[in-house]
Amino acid sequence: MNFAAVTQFCATDNVEKNTKVCVDLIKQAAEHRAKMVFLPESSDFMSSSQDQMLKLAAPLDSHAFLNNIRRAAKEHAIWVSVGVHESSSEPKKVNNIHVIINDKGDIVSIYRKTHMYSSDMNDGPTVDESESTTPGDEITPPVDTPLGKMGSQICYDLRYPEISIKLRNKGAEILTFPSAFTPKTGAHWGKHREHMNINYSSESLRNLVTSKSS
């Protein structure tokens, strides 16, 4: 039986600190004989402003955080699922991406978040992710992993079943939704967490697959 390690931590705007935390989580997962470790959405950083976000985001070919994660995956011979920010071709925006790395440190899958989070509620925060993030326009094919054939999504994509259905039709056995919440959205959804459990269960039942969120 192959084991997975699903992790949680609170990323900050300090990329170096977040890197150390994630590398340590990868090491711990490998020491517990996990074949794959799941890190959250936005593991590289959570910025406090759009200007800071644009400064911290980087292209994949020079992404210091991601390069360190790749080295850790190779060193500890473990697969990694992780969410990071990527520089966008669209001015003043970034891409929110989900990367899967194999146990050789190679990137085998890249998915760019399709559905942008937006909320304007009387009892909650006002957030519009589309103001800072370029939506993806492609479904990334499922990839073979030690845990099974895995389909990639991110957080708010969970609310839109079409991608899950298409991934299942392409052979996905596991659906992954790395997720992250800001202090405002976290405080709000912490009071309404039941709907998240229902959504994850619904995706699993609808598609007869396992759903994972980190």
For residues 50 and 128, is the Cβ–Cβ distance under 8 A?
no
What's the total number of domains in the chain? Answer: 1
- With bands split at pLDDT 50, 70 and 90, how would you rate the model's confidence at 87? very high
* Residue 50: strand, helix, or coil: helix
**Measured distance CA(63)–CA(46) in Å, rounded:** 16
Question: Catalytic residues, which ones?
Answer: 41, 113, 155
Enclosing domain of residue 208: 3-212
For residues 104 and 72, is the Cβ–Cβ distance under 8 A?
no
**Measured distance CA(56)–CA(50) in Å, rounded:** 10
- With bands split at pLDDT 50, 70 and 90, how would you rate the model's confidence at 1? confident
If 0-12 CB within 10 Å is exposed, 13-18 middle and 19+ buried, where does residue 205 land? exposed
Instruction: Tell me the one-letter amino acid at 207.
Output: N
How many Å from the N-terminal Cα to the C-terminal Cα in the chain? 21
pLDDT of 212 reads 46
- The CATH number covering residue 33 comes to 3.60.110.10
DSSP category for residue 58: B
pLDDT of 125 reads 60
Region 207-213: what's the mean pLDDT? 50
Region 60-88: what's the mean pLDDT? 98
**Measured distance CA(35)–CA(166) in Å, rounded:** 26
Residues 159-187: pLDDT tens digits?
Answer: 888 999 999 999 999 999 998 866 555 55
* Residue 192: strand, helix, or coil: coil
**Measured distance CA(72)–CA(23) in Å, rounded:** 6
Average pLDDT, the chain: 88
